[in-house]
């Protein structure tokens, strides 16, 4: 079976405005140029994924069901532009600041560890060496590089949108 190539997006601060622990679906605001970036990636044969740390679960700010509803809303917003994310991956853990015991742990899924990317690669037969991680933080970039992807800061892409920078 032929491996696919993927673009992995961080969520908060990359796809949508970071509001510091999203608490209401009405707070979702897609950032400028994100639609163009996603469409260009799809046009070049990439599948799209979301890879996001959601320590707000561990901290007790919201639950996993809220994160799932958020991702359903995001999928609907992007689908209106013919953009489909294959899957949303999220890490609910925090190693030190979790208020809910079962989420207080060091894990391989929390960025900068590459666990979510590796899980996606296994589940969807992704060639990570031909794939890209786009995020807004050092941990996003580190996770992408640790998985074997090329990695870009979304702000660099936003400054002068040029698909050739990352495809």
CA distance linking residue 6 with residue 87, whole number of Å = 11
CA-to-CA separations, 148 to 2, 127, 132, 143, in angstroms, rounded: 18, 9, 9, 9
In the predicted model, is pLDDT for residue 49 greater than 80?
yes
Name the least confident of 9-18, 27-36, 47-56, 110-119. 27-36
Does the residue 152 lie in any domain?
yes
CATH of the domain at 79: 3.40.50.1000
pTM for the model stands at 0.94
Does the residue 30 lie in any domain?
yes
Does the residue 93 lie in any domain?
yes
Q: How many domains does the chain have?
A: 1
Does the residue 123 lie in any domain?
yes
Q: What is the pLDDT of residues 96-119, one digit of tens each?
A: 999 999 999 999 999 999 999 999
Catalytic residue among 10, 82, 136, 162: 10
Active site residue 63: no
CA distance linking residue 58 with residue 100, whole number of Å = 6
Active site residue 24: no
Does the residue 39 lie in any domain?
yes
Q: Chain centroid to CA 75: how far?
A: 13
pLDDT at 163: 58
Q: What is the pLDDT of residues 72-81, one digit of tens each?
A: 999 999 999 9
CA distance linking residue 104 with residue 100, whole number of Å = 7
Q: What percent of the chain has pLDDT over 90?
A: 89
CA distance linking residue 74 with residue 125, whole number of Å = 24
Tokens representing residue 55 in the block = 């320590």
Question: Which residues constitute the domain of residue 21?
Answer: 5-128+138-165
Does the residue 133 lie in any domain?
no
Does the residue 102 lie in any domain?
yes
Q: What is the mean pLDDT of the chain?
A: 94
In the predicted model, is pLDDT for residue 9 greater than 60?
yes
CB 133 within 8 A of CB 152: yes
In the predicted model, is pLDDT for residue 160 greater than 60?
no
pLDDT at 2: 92
Catalytic residue among 12, 18, 24, 26: 12
Does the residue 44 lie in any domain?
yes
In the predicted model, is pLDDT for residue 18 greater than 90?
yes
Tokens representing residue 157 in the block = 């892409």
CA distance linking residue 10 with residue 134, whole number of Å = 6
């Amino acid at each position: 079976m032929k491996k696919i190539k993927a673009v992995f997006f961080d969520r908060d601060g990359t796809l949508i405005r970071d509001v510091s622990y999203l608490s209401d679906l009405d707070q979702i605001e897609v950032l400028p140029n994100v639609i163009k970036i996603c469409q260009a990636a799809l046009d070049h044969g990439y599948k799209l994924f979301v890879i996001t740390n959601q320590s707000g679960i561990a901290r007790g700010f919201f639950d996993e069901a809220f994160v799932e509803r958020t991702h359903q809303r995001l999928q609907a917003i992007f689908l209106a532009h013919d953009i489909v994310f294959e899957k949303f991956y999220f890490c609910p853990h925090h190693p030190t600041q979790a208020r809910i015991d079962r989420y207080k742990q060091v894990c391989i899924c929390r960025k900068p560890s590459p666990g979510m990317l590796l899980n996606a690669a296994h589940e969807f037969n992704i060639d990570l060496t031909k794939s890209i991680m786009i995020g807004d933080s050092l941990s996003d970039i580190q996770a992408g590089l640790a998985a074997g992807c090329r990695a870009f800061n979304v702000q660099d892409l936003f400054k002068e949108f040029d698909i050739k920078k990352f495809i």
